[in-house]
Chain A
Amino acid sequence: MTQTTTDPAALSRTVTVDRALLVDYANASGDQNPIHQDADFARSVGLEDVIAHGMWTMGAALDVVTAYVGGDPGRVLSCSTRFTGMVVVPEGETVEVLVEGVIKKSDEEAGTQTVELTATCAGEKVLGRCLAVVRA
Protein backbone atom coordinates (compact mmCIF):
# COMPACT_ATOMS: atom_id res chain seq x y z
CA MET A 1 0.00 0.00 0.00
CA THR A 2 1.35 3.40 -0.90
CA GLN A 3 -0.07 6.73 0.00
CA THR A 4 0.83 10.35 -0.44
CA THR A 5 -0.75 13.21 1.32
CA THR A 6 -2.57 15.54 -1.07
CA ASP A 7 -2.40 18.53 1.21
CA PRO A 8 0.01 21.10 -0.34
CA ALA A 9 0.52 22.56 3.13
CA ALA A 10 2.22 19.27 4.00
CA LEU A 11 5.17 20.41 1.88
CA SER A 12 5.63 23.52 3.98
CA ARG A 13 6.90 23.68 7.54
CA THR A 14 8.73 26.03 9.87
CA VAL A 15 11.47 24.25 11.80
CA THR A 16 13.39 25.76 14.71
CA VAL A 17 16.90 25.34 16.02
CA ASP A 18 18.81 26.50 19.07
CA ARG A 19 22.25 25.84 20.55
CA ALA A 20 21.06 22.82 22.56
CA LEU A 21 19.67 21.17 19.43
CA LEU A 22 22.99 21.70 17.64
CA VAL A 23 24.72 19.81 20.47
CA ASP A 24 22.15 17.02 20.06
CA TYR A 25 22.78 16.97 16.31
CA ALA A 26 26.56 16.98 16.81
CA ASN A 27 26.26 13.92 19.06
CA ALA A 28 23.74 12.14 16.83
CA SER A 29 25.71 12.75 13.64
CA GLY A 30 29.24 12.62 15.02
CA ASP A 31 30.06 16.03 13.49
CA GLN A 32 31.72 17.81 16.41
CA ASN A 33 33.19 20.71 14.40
CA PRO A 34 33.37 23.54 16.99
CA ILE A 35 31.99 26.11 14.52
CA HIS A 36 28.60 24.57 15.37
CA GLN A 37 28.96 24.92 19.15
CA ASP A 38 31.59 27.47 20.15
CA ALA A 39 31.03 31.14 19.27
CA ASP A 40 34.61 32.18 20.03
CA PHE A 41 35.93 29.47 17.76
CA ALA A 42 33.42 30.34 15.02
CA ARG A 43 34.49 34.00 15.13
CA SER A 44 38.16 33.03 15.13
CA VAL A 45 37.67 31.45 11.70
CA GLY A 46 35.78 34.45 10.32
CA LEU A 47 32.17 33.45 10.96
CA GLU A 48 29.60 35.81 12.46
CA ASP A 49 28.59 33.38 15.23
CA VAL A 50 27.83 29.68 15.69
CA ILE A 51 26.18 28.25 12.58
CA ALA A 52 23.95 25.20 12.23
CA HIS A 53 25.41 22.14 10.52
CA GLY A 54 24.35 22.31 6.88
CA MET A 55 23.42 18.67 7.30
CA TRP A 56 21.09 19.58 10.18
CA THR A 57 19.23 21.90 7.84
CA MET A 58 19.14 19.31 5.06
CA GLY A 59 17.90 16.64 7.45
CA ALA A 60 15.23 18.86 8.97
CA ALA A 61 14.03 19.94 5.51
CA LEU A 62 13.90 16.38 4.16
CA ASP A 63 11.45 15.29 6.85
CA VAL A 64 8.84 17.29 4.95
CA VAL A 65 9.40 14.82 2.10
CA THR A 66 9.23 11.76 4.37
CA ALA A 67 5.93 13.09 5.73
CA TYR A 68 4.70 13.61 2.16
CA VAL A 69 5.23 9.93 1.33
CA GLY A 70 3.11 8.72 4.20
CA GLY A 71 5.90 8.79 6.79
CA ASP A 72 7.84 6.02 5.01
CA PRO A 73 11.54 6.96 4.86
CA GLY A 74 12.07 3.98 2.55
CA ARG A 75 10.21 5.82 -0.21
CA VAL A 76 12.79 8.63 -0.30
CA LEU A 77 15.04 7.15 -2.99
CA SER A 78 17.56 9.97 -3.27
CA CYS A 79 18.11 13.53 -2.16
CA SER A 80 20.65 16.22 -2.86
CA THR A 81 21.31 19.84 -2.04
CA ARG A 82 23.66 22.74 -2.34
CA PHE A 83 24.40 24.77 0.77
CA THR A 84 23.87 28.37 -0.28
CA GLY A 85 23.74 30.19 3.04
CA MET A 86 24.34 29.80 6.74
CA VAL A 87 21.85 29.42 9.59
CA VAL A 88 23.35 31.63 12.32
CA VAL A 89 22.32 30.48 15.80
CA PRO A 90 23.07 33.10 18.51
CA GLU A 91 23.22 32.04 22.17
CA GLY A 92 19.82 32.05 23.86
CA GLU A 93 17.86 32.41 20.62
CA THR A 94 15.55 30.08 18.77
CA VAL A 95 16.04 30.48 15.04
CA GLU A 96 13.35 29.67 12.48
CA VAL A 97 13.96 28.04 9.10
CA LEU A 98 11.09 28.01 6.61
CA VAL A 99 10.94 24.88 4.45
CA GLU A 100 8.75 24.91 1.34
CA GLY A 101 8.36 22.18 -1.25
CA VAL A 102 6.78 21.78 -4.66
CA ILE A 103 6.27 18.74 -6.83
CA LYS A 104 8.68 19.43 -9.66
CA LYS A 105 8.09 16.33 -11.76
CA SER A 106 6.00 13.16 -11.86
CA ASP A 107 7.34 10.17 -13.78
CA GLU A 108 4.42 7.77 -14.00
CA GLU A 109 6.41 5.14 -15.86
CA ALA A 110 9.08 5.00 -13.17
CA GLY A 111 6.51 5.53 -10.41
CA THR A 112 8.50 8.41 -8.97
CA GLN A 113 8.03 12.06 -8.15
CA THR A 114 10.67 14.75 -7.72
CA VAL A 115 10.12 17.22 -4.89
CA GLU A 116 12.04 20.49 -4.87
CA LEU A 117 12.59 22.13 -1.50
CA THR A 118 13.72 25.56 -0.50
CA ALA A 119 14.87 26.48 2.99
CA THR A 120 15.02 30.11 4.04
CA CYS A 121 16.44 31.66 7.20
CA ALA A 122 16.36 35.38 7.98
CA GLY A 123 15.41 36.08 4.37
CA GLU A 124 18.37 34.14 2.95
CA LYS A 125 18.08 30.92 0.98
CA VAL A 126 20.18 28.38 2.87
CA LEU A 127 19.52 25.31 0.71
CA GLY A 128 19.59 25.54 -3.08
CA ARG A 129 18.68 22.98 -5.73
CA CYS A 130 17.42 20.74 -2.94
CA LEU A 131 15.76 17.82 -4.69
CA ALA A 132 14.33 14.53 -3.48
CA VAL A 133 13.12 11.66 -5.64
CA VAL A 134 10.39 9.60 -4.00
CA ARG A 135 8.50 6.47 -4.88
CA ALA A 136 5.03 7.82 -5.52
Chain B
Amino acid sequence: MAVNPDYAGREYPPVGPFPVTAEEIAAFADAIGSTSAAHRDPAAAQALGHADVVAPPTFAVRLAQQCEAQLIRDEDAGIDFSRVVHGEESFTHHRPITAGDSLSGVLHVDRIREAGGHGMVSTRVELSDARGAPVTTVKSTIVVRGGG
Protein backbone atom coordinates (compact mmCIF):
# COMPACT_ATOMS: atom_id res chain seq x y z
CA MET B 1 0.00 0.00 0.00
CA ALA B 2 1.40 3.36 -1.01
CA VAL B 3 0.60 6.78 0.38
CA ASN B 4 -1.85 8.79 -1.70
CA PRO B 5 -0.23 11.88 -3.23
CA ASP B 6 -3.68 13.32 -4.03
CA TYR B 7 -3.90 14.34 -0.35
CA ALA B 8 -1.21 17.01 -0.74
CA GLY B 9 -2.62 20.46 -0.06
CA ARG B 10 -5.63 19.27 1.90
CA GLU B 11 -6.90 21.31 4.81
CA TYR B 12 -9.16 19.76 7.43
CA PRO B 13 -11.91 21.34 9.54
CA PRO B 14 -10.81 22.59 12.98
CA VAL B 15 -10.51 19.99 15.77
CA GLY B 16 -11.18 20.92 19.37
CA PRO B 17 -11.35 22.99 21.37
CA PHE B 18 -8.91 21.18 23.65
CA PRO B 19 -8.95 22.62 27.17
CA VAL B 20 -5.37 22.68 28.52
CA THR B 21 -5.22 21.78 32.20
CA ALA B 22 -2.52 22.15 34.84
CA GLU B 23 -2.73 18.39 35.46
CA GLU B 24 -1.99 17.61 31.79
CA ILE B 25 0.95 19.99 31.75
CA ALA B 26 2.39 18.51 34.97
CA ALA B 27 1.94 14.92 33.75
CA PHE B 28 3.68 15.75 30.46
CA ALA B 29 6.50 17.56 32.28
CA ASP B 30 6.98 14.60 34.64
CA ALA B 31 7.08 12.09 31.77
CA ILE B 32 9.88 13.95 29.98
CA GLY B 33 11.76 14.74 33.18
CA SER B 34 11.35 18.50 32.90
CA THR B 35 12.94 20.36 35.78
CA SER B 36 11.26 23.79 35.57
CA ALA B 37 8.95 24.80 38.41
CA ALA B 38 6.99 26.87 35.88
CA HIS B 39 5.36 23.63 34.60
CA ARG B 40 3.93 22.82 38.02
CA ASP B 41 3.80 25.83 40.33
CA PRO B 42 1.47 28.71 39.36
CA ALA B 43 3.42 31.14 41.56
CA ALA B 44 6.69 30.26 39.81
CA ALA B 45 5.02 30.73 36.41
CA GLN B 46 3.49 34.05 37.46
CA ALA B 47 6.89 35.27 38.68
CA LEU B 48 8.06 34.78 35.07
CA GLY B 49 5.11 36.79 33.77
CA HIS B 50 2.75 33.98 32.78
CA ALA B 51 -0.93 33.73 33.69
CA ASP B 52 -0.62 30.13 34.92
CA VAL B 53 1.64 27.08 34.63
CA VAL B 54 3.39 26.91 31.24
CA ALA B 55 3.57 23.87 28.97
CA PRO B 56 6.94 22.35 28.00
CA PRO B 57 8.15 23.32 24.48
CA THR B 58 6.95 20.03 22.95
CA PHE B 59 3.62 19.71 24.81
CA ALA B 60 1.67 20.84 21.75
CA VAL B 61 2.35 17.43 20.18
CA ARG B 62 -0.42 16.10 22.43
CA LEU B 63 -2.91 18.33 20.64
CA ALA B 64 -1.33 18.18 17.18
CA GLN B 65 -1.42 14.39 17.04
CA GLN B 66 -5.16 14.44 17.71
CA CYS B 67 -5.51 16.65 14.63
CA GLU B 68 -3.12 14.50 12.57
CA ALA B 69 -5.28 11.45 13.38
CA GLN B 70 -7.80 12.70 10.81
CA LEU B 71 -5.29 11.89 8.09
CA ILE B 72 -3.71 8.78 9.67
CA ARG B 73 -7.11 7.13 10.21
CA ASP B 74 -8.28 7.84 6.65
CA GLU B 75 -7.70 4.55 4.82
CA ASP B 76 -7.69 6.27 1.44
CA ALA B 77 -4.57 8.21 2.50
CA GLY B 78 -2.68 4.89 2.50
CA ILE B 79 -0.78 5.40 5.77
CA ASP B 80 -0.09 2.07 7.53
CA PHE B 81 0.40 3.31 11.10
CA SER B 82 2.23 0.14 12.17
CA ARG B 83 4.96 1.01 9.64
CA VAL B 84 5.25 4.68 10.59
CA VAL B 85 8.42 6.15 12.04
CA HIS B 86 8.85 9.77 12.94
CA GLY B 87 11.17 11.71 10.64
CA GLU B 88 11.09 15.35 11.73
CA GLU B 89 9.19 17.59 14.11
CA SER B 90 9.15 21.31 14.77
CA PHE B 91 7.28 23.75 16.98
CA THR B 92 7.01 27.48 16.44
CA HIS B 93 5.45 29.18 19.45
CA HIS B 94 3.63 32.40 18.66
CA ARG B 95 3.03 32.60 22.39
CA PRO B 96 3.46 30.10 25.26
CA ILE B 97 0.71 27.59 26.04
CA THR B 98 -0.56 27.89 29.61
CA ALA B 99 -3.14 26.11 31.75
CA GLY B 100 -6.57 27.55 31.09
CA ASP B 101 -6.00 27.81 27.34
CA SER B 102 -8.63 26.37 25.05
CA LEU B 103 -6.95 25.51 21.76
CA SER B 104 -8.22 24.31 18.40
CA GLY B 105 -6.11 22.86 15.60
CA VAL B 106 -6.36 22.96 11.84
CA LEU B 107 -4.51 20.19 10.00
CA HIS B 108 -2.83 20.88 6.67
CA VAL B 109 -1.20 18.19 4.51
CA ASP B 110 1.80 20.08 3.17
CA ARG B 111 3.41 17.21 1.27
CA ILE B 112 2.74 13.50 0.66
CA ARG B 113 4.81 11.41 -1.70
CA GLU B 114 6.65 8.16 -2.32
CA ALA B 115 10.45 8.30 -2.15
CA GLY B 116 12.83 5.37 -2.34
CA GLY B 117 10.09 2.86 -1.62
CA HIS B 118 8.92 4.76 1.48
CA GLY B 119 6.04 7.16 1.99
CA MET B 120 6.92 10.65 3.19
CA VAL B 121 4.11 12.66 4.76
CA SER B 122 4.58 16.24 5.97
CA THR B 123 1.79 17.85 7.93
CA ARG B 124 1.27 21.17 9.68
CA VAL B 125 -1.14 21.86 12.52
CA GLU B 126 -1.99 25.47 13.27
CA LEU B 127 -3.13 25.75 16.88
CA SER B 128 -5.11 28.83 17.83
CA ASP B 129 -6.80 30.04 21.00
CA ALA B 130 -10.44 30.71 21.81
CA ARG B 131 -10.21 34.17 20.17
CA GLY B 132 -8.68 32.68 17.02
CA ALA B 133 -5.20 34.08 17.68
CA PRO B 134 -2.30 31.83 16.57
CA VAL B 135 -0.56 29.97 19.40
CA THR B 136 1.69 27.24 17.99
CA THR B 137 2.57 25.86 14.56
CA VAL B 138 3.47 22.16 14.72
CA LYS B 139 5.13 20.59 11.69
CA SER B 140 5.67 16.86 11.45
CA THR B 141 7.15 14.55 8.85
CA ILE B 142 6.47 10.84 9.15
CA VAL B 143 8.00 8.05 7.11
CA VAL B 144 5.86 5.05 6.20
CA ARG B 145 8.42 2.27 5.80
CA GLY B 146 8.00 0.34 2.58
CA GLY B 147 8.29 -3.38 2.04
CA GLY B 148 5.10 -4.21 3.94
Q: Which residues of A contact B50 (CB under 8 A)?
A: 74
Is A74 touching B32 in the complex (CB atoms < 8 A)? Answer: no
Q: Which residues of B contact A46 (CB under 8 A)?
A: 145
Out of B34, B36, B86, B91, name the residue touching A78 (CB < 8 Å): B91
Interface residue SS majority, chain B: mixed
Cα distance, A65 to B34, chains bound together (Å) = 10
Q: What is the minimal beta-carbon distance from A52 to any residue of chain B, in angstroms?
A: 11
State whether A45 and B36 are in contact (beta carbons under 8 Å apart), knowing that A73-B54, A74-B48 are contacts in the complex.
Answer: no
Q: Mark A49-78, 1 if CB is under 8 A from B, else 0.
A: 000011110111011011100111110111
Contact residue range for chain B? Answer: 35 or more
Tell me how many residue pairs across A and B have CB atoms closer than 8 Å.
126
State whether A74 and B86 are in contact (beta carbons under 8 Å apart), knowing that A28-B30, A30-B65, A33-B81 are contacts in the complex.
Answer: no
Q: Which residues of A contact B13 (CB under 8 A)?
A: none
Q: Which residues of A contact B34 (CB under 8 A)?
A: 59, 63, 66
Cα distance, A45 to B83, chains bound together (Å) = 7
Contact residue range for chain A? Answer: 35 or more
Is B30 touching A24 in the complex (CB atoms < 8 A)? Answer: yes
B124 interface contact, C-beta 8 A:
no
B93 interface contact, C-beta 8 A:
yes
Cα distance, A63 to B30, chains bound together (Å) = 11
Cα distance, A81 to B145, chains bound together (Å) = 19
A-B contact pairs, 29 of them (CB 8 A): A21-B31, A24-B31, A28-B24, A28-B62, A30-B65, A31-B61, A33-B81, A33-B84, A46-B145, A53-B86, A55-B58, A62-B32, A63-B32, A63-B36, A65-B57, A66-B56, A73-B39, A74-B49, A74-B54, A77-B92, A78-B91, A78-B92, A79-B57, A80-B88, A80-B89, A80-B91, A81-B88, A81-B90, A132-B57
Contacts A73-B96, A79-B57 aside, 8 further interface pairs with beta carbons under 8 A come to A31-B61, A31-B65, A55-B89, A59-B32, A73-B36, A78-B93, A80-B139, A83-B89
